[in-house]
Copies of this chain bind each other. A is one copy, B any other.
Amino acid sequence: MAITAWEQTAATKRQSVLNAIPEKWRIKGPIPTPTEQRDVTGAYIQQFLSPREIEITETDAVGITERTTTGRWTAVEVAEAFCHRAALAHQLVNCLHEIFFDAALETARVLDAHYTMTGQPLGPLHGLPVSLKDQFHVMGVETTMGYVGWINTFQGKTNDPRYLTHESELVKELRAAGAVLYCKTSVPMTLMSGETMNNIITYTHNPKNRLLSSGGSSGGEGALIALRGSPAGFGTDIGGSIRVPASFNGLYGIRPSVGRMPYEGAANSGDGQNTVLSVVGPLSSSASGLILLFKTVLGAKPWLGDPGVLEIPWREDIVEETRKLVQGKPEGLAFGIIYDDGQVRPQPPVERAMRIAAETIKSLGHKLIKWEPPSHQTAAAIANRAYNLDGGADVLQNFALSNETIHPSVVIDASGSPQKTAQEIAALNVEKREYQKQYLDYWNSTAQVTGTGRPVDAVICPVAPHAACIPTKYATIGYTAFINVLDYTSAVVPVTNADKSVDVVGQEGREYFGELDRKTEGEYDADVFDGAPTGIQLFGRRLQEEKILVLAEYLGEKIKKAST
């Protein structure tokens, strides 16, 4: 069968990414199939690395900067170790869209020279490799965002002077803080999917279980960090796109409220849709890694470079206050908990993760109340309408650039439905605001039942009905999209991995919420899911990033301690 033009273009691009991997870092011989070797993290990937490289890449972001900002590790040796490991990661799970190791090593050399000359780090991220979802523009590097039609263009525009020259605000701020940028990670075409697949990199598999998805849309970030090919990176989230890959890969991630992290100058899907906004946020192997990145970006005063960022600096007073609450002063914390969204009951590994989190909270002496908010399904419906306001016009235009085929996992309506009118959009905005108001009132009302005199401090809930997911079988955004509609702060805390010996569907029949519930339970296969990570969400009201980050760090540590 003849290869089409877009297939050729995609194949060329795919090969060019592989070609950017130095010969010495290429995996010799065939890579085992997922059935032969599901889990390519840990010992599997370590076989290709030196002990020193393993030491460096398995140190978390804070540990790395402690060493690189004090001259104990050079930026160059850290950059080389991560470039090597990222190269391996990409060969194992297709997680990179762009590789620019040479530029990274040049940056690292400059940083080392700076340190040698001044005895001081350039900034708080001096020498820290930071990965970026392929929406961020980096000077000299292409951004395809998973569209074949964007290859050799600036966001689909040919002969645009910004091609290879433009840099996103976040990127500038990371550079100024001393970060080393070295790769951009894979995304699903359109960004609107809980999996990561496109016609350039094909599919990004889950490194803990390559039968499954790494999640989406920041799936490349999730997979790369899970393989420790990056200590921390930035994704975006409009319906779960940071939280899903964080959960599916056993990582921490945070979806902040709109206006805290700079989006300025980054590519996007459906740009200008203003009802439910995409936001930028970090993913990392540690909660402290999230805090480091979050605090550093705010330290750069991003509101001076991005008109969409709110002038709210990192609030150390909230950190202190939250730390006191954590220590039980004066009366400890109160959490809400919601096990299912009334539409799809989570599969056994996720249910177990929720129970682990609940038991941990109770064993620490904190309050746990049943969370009974305005329906999350209502919110998910609002989100879906917001995503589809233009009837798919934006994504269809981008597909039309190359005539590439559309993957079935894209959740946006690409059928070319009629666009919504101004008044229909306004009505949706009002509906959203009314939902937000109801939810806020409910939140406040819990002050009556927590026993702390305050409403709940945070709420825990699943991230998705499944631990990772079988390709094309991502069930629902019902567990994540309500956060985007509310514009609340939600962090993912890793909890456990699916275990076929304990995670089995109950023998007794149960009543199903509906067809999707029955289908999702039916799709659970203890064997297939075995080993897949799952986390939980920990969410707070709008703009509660400092509080939620501190609580995520606390709860994550306690859960880890409880399970070891």
Give chain A's interface residues, CB within 8 Å of chain B.
264, 270-275, 303-308, 310-312, 389-391, 393-394, 419-423, 425-430, 433, 436-437, 439-440, 444, 486-487, 541-544
Considering the complex, give the chain B residue whose CB is closest to the CB of A397.
B423
> What secondary structure prevails in chain A residues at the interface with B?
loop
**CB-CB under 8 A for A426 and B394, given A437-B264, A440-B304:** yes
Considering the complex of A and B, which 8 residue pairs feature the smallest CB-CB distances, nearest first?
A272-B426, A307-B436, A389-B422, A272-B429, A419-B421, A390-B422, A272-B430, A419-B422
Q: B residues within 8 A CB of A272?
A: 425-430, 433
Q: Is the CB of B310 within 8 A of A273?
A: no
**CB-CB under 8 A for A271 and B430, given A310-B310, A311-B543, A542-B303:** yes
Considering the complex, give the chain B residue whose CB is closest to the CB of A488.
B307
A307 to B274, CA, bound (A): 16
A346 to B197, CA, bound (A): 58
Q: Counting chain B CB atoms within 10 Å of each CB, which of A307, A311, A486 scores highest? A: A307
Q: Is the CB of A273 within 8 A of B303?
A: no
Q: B residues within 8 A CB of A543?
A: 303, 310-311
How many whole Å from A432's CB to the nearest CB in chain B?
9
**CB-CB under 8 A for A307 and B437, given A272-B429, A274-B274, A274-B275:** yes
Select A423's contact among B311, B393, B541, beta carbons within 8 Å. B393
Q: B residues within 8 A CB of A544?
A: 311
**CB-CB under 8 A for A307 and B422, given A272-B430, A430-B271, A430-B272:** no
Q: Is the CB of B425 within 8 A of A425?
A: yes
A210 to B389, CA, bound (A): 48
Q: B residues within 8 A CB of A394?
A: 423, 426
A260 to B509, CA, bound (A): 52
Copies in the complex: 2
How many whole Å from A259's CB to the nearest CB in chain B?
8
Can you give 14 A-B contacts (C-beta < 8 A)? Answer: A273-B422, A273-B429, A274-B275, A274-B425, A303-B542, A304-B444, A307-B433, A307-B436, A310-B312, A390-B422, A390-B423, A391-B422, A394-B423, A420-B422
How many whole Å from A361's CB to the nearest CB in chain B?
24
Q: Counting chain B CB atoms within 10 Å of each CB, which of A272, A310, A439 scores highest? A: A272
How many whole Å from A426's CB to the nearest CB in chain B?
3
Q: Is the CB of B426 within 8 A of A390?
A: yes
Q: B residues within 8 A CB of A542?
A: 303, 307, 311
Q: B residues within 8 A CB of A487?
A: 307
Select A271's contact among B393, B421, B426, beta carbons within 8 Å. B426
How many whole Å from A65's CB to the nearest CB in chain B?
28
A54 to B193, CA, bound (A): 67
Q: B residues within 8 A CB of A306?
A: 437, 440
Q: Is the CB of A422 within 8 A of B425?
A: yes
How many whole Å from A441's CB to the nearest CB in chain B?
8
Q: B residues within 8 A CB of A430?
A: 271-272
A30 to B430, CA, bound (A): 47
A532 to B436, CA, bound (A): 44
Q: B residues within 8 A CB of A429?
A: 272-274
Q: Is the CB of B433 within 8 A of A308?
A: yes
A436 to B275, CA, bound (A): 19
Q: B residues within 8 A CB of A444?
A: 304
How many whole Å from A11's CB to the nearest CB in chain B?
32
A429 to B426, CA, bound (A): 14
A440 to B274, CA, bound (A): 21
A390 to B312, CA, bound (A): 34
Select A420's contact among B310, B393, B421, beta carbons within 8 Å. B421
How many whole Å from A106's CB to the nearest CB in chain B?
28
A58 to B215, CA, bound (A): 66
A383 to B393, CA, bound (A): 25
A306 to B487, CA, bound (A): 13
Q: B residues within 8 A CB of A420?
A: 421-422
Other A-B contacts than A274-B275, A419-B422, 20 sampled, CB-CB below 8 A, are: A264-B433, A271-B426, A273-B422, A273-B429, A305-B440, A307-B439, A310-B310, A310-B312, A310-B543, A311-B541, A311-B542, A311-B543, A389-B426, A390-B422, A390-B426, A393-B422, A419-B421, A420-B422, A421-B422, A425-B425
How many whole Å from A133's CB to the nearest CB in chain B?
20
Select A274's contact among B311, B421, B426, B486, beta carbons within 8 Å. B426
Q: B residues within 8 A CB of A440?
A: 304-307
A391 to B422, CA, bound (A): 8
Considering the complex, give the chain B residue whose CB is closest to the CB of A437.
B307
A69 to B102, CA, bound (A): 69
Q: B residues within 8 A CB of A428?
A: 272
Considering the complex, give the chain B residue whose CB is closest to the CB of A390.
B422
Q: B residues within 8 A CB of A304?
A: 440, 444
**CB-CB under 8 A for A270 and B437, given A542-B303, A542-B311, A543-B311:** no
How many whole Å from A95's CB to the nearest CB in chain B?
30
Q: B residues within 8 A CB of A436?
A: 307-308
Q: B residues within 8 A CB of A541?
A: 311
How many whole Å from A190's CB to the nearest CB in chain B?
15
A543 to B313, CA, bound (A): 13
A303 to B389, CA, bound (A): 28
A308 to B432, CA, bound (A): 11
How many whole Å from A399's CB to the nearest CB in chain B?
15
